[in-house]
């Protein structure tokens, strides 16, 4: 098992980019769960913006 510092956003973004390419829906679900568990911080709002962006991408893919 690998433990990540929840404030290490650069590493998290790199891992998430790979995860989204591998399994978009699962990565989105994980990101939403991570967001719920993350303590309030300036990064929490950044992650919320990412979730909204990924949901829009997902919706656009469904509509095509």
Domain boundaries, the chain: 9-63
How many CB atoms lie under 10 A from the CB of residue 50?
18
What pTM was computed for the model? Answer: 0.73
pLDDT single digits (tens) 10-41: 887 888 889 999 999 999 998 899 889 888 87
CA distance 29 to 24: 9
Q: Strands, DSSP E only, in the chain?
A: none
Secondary structure (3-state) at 16: helix
pLDDT at position 28, please? 92
CB 9 within 8 A of CB 46: yes
pLDDT at position 6, please? 67
CA distance 54 to 40: 21
pLDDT at position 53, please? 93
Q: For the chain, what's the residue count?
A: 64
């Amino acid at each position: 098992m690998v433990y990540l510092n929840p404030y290490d956003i650069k590493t998290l973004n790199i891992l998430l980019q790979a995860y989204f390419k591998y399994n978009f829906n699962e990565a989105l679900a994980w990101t939403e769960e991570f967001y719920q568990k993350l303590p309030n911080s300036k990064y929490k709002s950044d992650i919320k913006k990412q979730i909204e962006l990924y949901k829009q991408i997902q919706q656009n893919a469904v509509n095509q």
